[in-house]
Amino acid sequence: MILASIQGLFLKKQSIQNVEALVIQAKNGNKEVHHELLSSYTPFMKKTASFVCKRYINEQDDEYSIAMLAFNEAIEHYELGKNASFLTFAHLLIRRKLIDFIRKESRRKEINIGQIPYEHGDYQDAFDILESSHSFDQFTAKQQVEDRKQQIAIYESLLKPYGLSFQVLVKVSPSHEDSRQTAIQIAQIIVETDEFYEIFQTKKRLPMKELEELVNVSRKTIERHRKYIVAIVILLKSDLHYIKDYLKGRMS
């Protein structure tokens, strides 16, 4: 769970209660404490932003500035006694601000990323969402479900140029384990061989002739599982870790 790991990194020297006590001091006008919180939790902001954006975020990126502003807003709007820790609240605000930024950027560039999950609302909504989960574990579990849905949506967009969809992938998945293993191994060969992957990427097809010469599998067999192999190649070249984890046991 990403938020649990983030908290583990930055709460070794002080308890959640101590952090929240400092937040209240900062909220009440203690500028020194406010500055210290922003400085001390810079790694937390970057890690949260990197998780949301699915790439490394440094302090020069716009996304980091947005994360820092959101963290600052979390300090200003946090209410002690609500059924959520400060860092949980801050994580949620950073995530929502970044998703809003990504949506605005996508509209500006006329790119449709409507699949990204987003809940509208003000700061009270953020508390309500967390309170309704009843526990931190339930909240992070719900977040993981959202992230899985987002990854499936991204995978769908990657499959589309090849005339595939997640539903098609389910239908064409080999029914026998040995056939599935063979298809996955062929996909791994394509990914690990630069010239094979270049053919795949530029011509949107499998390097059939080259594969026939390399693997002890007939062209007919490769063609039968072509759609599945294509889908696995796309997956292996992606950062879709949830979907990869699903296949991990079969890719050993």
pLDDT surpassing 80 at residue 66: yes
Name the more confident of 166 and 1.
166
What is the DSSP code string of the chain?
A: -HHHHHHHHH-SSS-HHHHHHHHHHHHTT-HHHHHHHHHHTHHHHHHHHHHHHTS---TTSHHHHHHHHHHHHHHHH--TTSSS-HHHHHHHHHHHHHHHHHHHHHHHTT---TTS------HHHHHHHHHHH-SHHHHHHHHHHHHHHHHHHHHHHHHGGGT--HHHHHHHS-SSHHHHHHHHHHHHHHHH-HHHHHHHHHHSS--HHHHHHHSS--HHHHHHTHHHHHHHHHHHTS--HHHHHHHGGG--
- C-alpha triplet 65, 102, 88: angle, nearest 5°: 60
Tens digits of per-residue pLDDT, 67-122?
Answer: 999 999 999 888 877 646 788 788 888 988 898 888 877 766 544 444 444 444 55
At residue 214, the pLDDT reads 77
Model pTM greater than 0.75?
no
Residue 124: its pLDDT value, please?
54
pLDDT digits (tens, 9 = 90+) for 108-141: 654 444 444 444 455 555 555 555 444 445 555 6
CA 184, CA 23: separation in Å to the nearest integer? Answer: 51
Domain segments of the chain: what residues? 2-149, 163-250
Q: Is 11's pLDDT higher than 50?
A: no
Q: Which of 40, 141, 32, 56 is nearest to 90 (CA)?
A: 40
* Distances from the Cα of 187 to the Cα of 151, 226, 232, angstroms: 20, 10, 6
Percent of the chain topping pLDDT 70? 74
